Amino acid sequence: MFDALEKTMMPLAEKLGKNKVLVAIRDGFLITTPLIIVGSLFLLFSNFPIPGWENFWTGILGNQWSSWFSNVSGAVFDVVGFLSCLGTAYAYGRELEVDPIQSAAVAVVGFLILTPMRMNVAGVADPLGAIDLQYLGTNGIFLALVVAIVSVLIYAFVSKRGWTIKMPDGVPPAVSKSFEALIPSGVVMLLFFFIRIGFEFTSYETVHNFIFEILQTPLKGAGNTLFAQIIYSLACTVFWFFGINGPAVANSVFAPISKVLTMENLNAFQAGKELPNIFTDPFSNFFTNYGGGGSTLSLVIVMVIFCKSERIKKLGKLSLVPGIFGINEPIIFGLPIVLNPIIIIPFILTPTINLLLSTAVTKLGIIPYTNGVALPWTTPIGFSGYLSTGSFLAVIWQFLLLGLGCFIYYPFIKTLDKQYLKEEAEASIRKDEEEDLSFDDLNFDDL
């Protein structure tokens, strides 16, 4: 069965992993991630889920205090589309081996060419020179990606054809580089110039409206279903069996969608509105997996408490603290999980069951929707549940799932435990006394 799986999964992983567009989108989001996390912390501070928090700080800092904080979070969230354009174009430029920062700059300009820059304001006769932030924020993410890819593709095409202005030797490299970028940038800007004009004659009026309606909304809808989330969850774990980092493969497809879903919740949370989506990044990070992919914190707990093999017990103890912070590398390679046909079963099952159950209790209203606040994925269980929902019930729920995971892992790790015990016993018989080799009485002659 695993051979058949390998034959279908491997080419898929290879295709996704080598597709430069998908790699650029995935890596581009990584550029915005730290900014979103810091922005989230500011937002979290101004909306901390403790009754009386706001009044307490108003008493000390005055009425305006929360707007100081939302200025910072808004500086990231309100332009997250714009930042995605910059990050993706940078990463794609790097993939296509053209100047990455020049790629990022020209893509950002292309994005702005497509963006309405005049705004009619009631009571003011002439339109103001202004950009409505809705174009640069969450609603603009997919357009930003499209613009980044198209503009860098053209930029690279023109550059590589050698359609550039070449400076004589002796001109400083920075200057000659700048001239080299001139014609490729011009072609990109000219293209977006025509695209913008073209769309003014359609019923969409702007490319923003067009992409939002025909691309972002349907893809978001498709990703915002339990079915899609199960596929995502399976991809994240099944690939690990073959030693492939599953989330890295899955995110190359899912990242734009989960980004939009998460940012929509974050925007709603910031505005104090009802949270629209279940399947956000925090939901997937903190309500389906504990201790890293495969929800291995449950496994580690069973290893420490119930296993008898010396190796498994020791590895369990060593993996407990990293596991609490979501790191399971010692388990993945040390147990191992890679190519281990026994442990891979609960490794796949546990997160999927967690996903189904967490979706159910969220839909039933027992735990709240996640607020979208981007906590680092290393945030320990308990803290993560509380900070991403503001609910103690959610914390209890996390620990219930952790316990359930222990039950799922138990029979499988015990099977492995027995096998390891047997091996350890056999090895100690072979060596007469114990299986540990001693390096103390070695013969170093003729070495």
- Which residues are near other proteins by CB under 8 A? 6, 10, 13-14, 17, 242-245, 248, 311, 314-315, 318-319, 322, 327, 329-330, 333-336, 338-340, 423-424, 426-427, 430-431, 435-437, 439, 442-444, 447
Report the residue number, 195 or 318, with the smaller CB distance to other proteins.
Answer: 318
Q: How far is the CB of 417 from other proteins (least distance, A)?
A: 13
- Non-local (6+) Cβ contacts of 358 within 8 A are 283, 287, 288, 367, 397, 401
Report the residue number, 314 or 414, with the smaller CB distance to other proteins.
Answer: 314
Q: How far is the CB of 337 from other proteins (least distance, A)?
A: 10
Report the residue number, 175 or 339, with the smaller CB distance to other proteins.
Answer: 339
Alpha helices in 201-225 (DSSP H): 207-211, 217-223
Q: How far is the CB of 280 from other proteins (least distance, A)?
A: 24
Report the residue number, 134 or 245, with the smaller CB distance to other proteins.
Answer: 245
The 8-class DSSP code of residue 140 comes to: G
Distance CA 190, CA 186 (A): 6
Q: How far is the CB of 103 from other proteins (least distance, A)?
A: 25
Q: How far is the CB of 341 from other proteins (least distance, A)?
A: 8
Report the residue number, 16 or 104, with the smaller CB distance to other proteins.
Answer: 16
Report the residue number, 196 or 314, with the smaller CB distance to other proteins.
Answer: 314
The residue among 50, 148, 60, 149 whose CA lies nearest residue 107 is 148
Are 375 and 387 in contact, with CB atoms under 8 Å apart? yes
Q: How far is the CB of 296 from other proteins (least distance, A)?
A: 13
Distance CA 277, CA 26 (A): 21
List, in sequence order, every beta strand (DSSP E) within 151-228: none
Which tokens hold the place of 330?
A: 């010692």
Distance CA 424, CA 342 (A): 19
Q: How far is the CB of 145 from other proteins (least distance, A)?
A: 24
Report the residue number, 184 or 322, with the smaller CB distance to other proteins.
Answer: 322
Burial of 433 (0-12, 13-18, 19+ CB in 10 A): exposed
Exposure b/e, 58-71, CB count within 10 A at least 16 = b: eeeeeeebbeebbe
Q: How far is the CB of 18 from other proteins (least distance, A)?
A: 8
Report the residue number, 66 or 340, with the smaller CB distance to other proteins.
Answer: 340
Query: Is cis: bond before 336, omega within 30 of 0?
Result: yes
Report the residue number, 50 or 437, with the smaller CB distance to other proteins.
Answer: 437
Residue 119: enclosing H or E segment and its boundaries? Answer: strand 118-119
Distance CA 403, CA 354 (A): 11
Q: How far is the CB of 236 from other proteins (least distance, A)?
A: 12
Which tokens hold the place of 79?
A: 């332009």
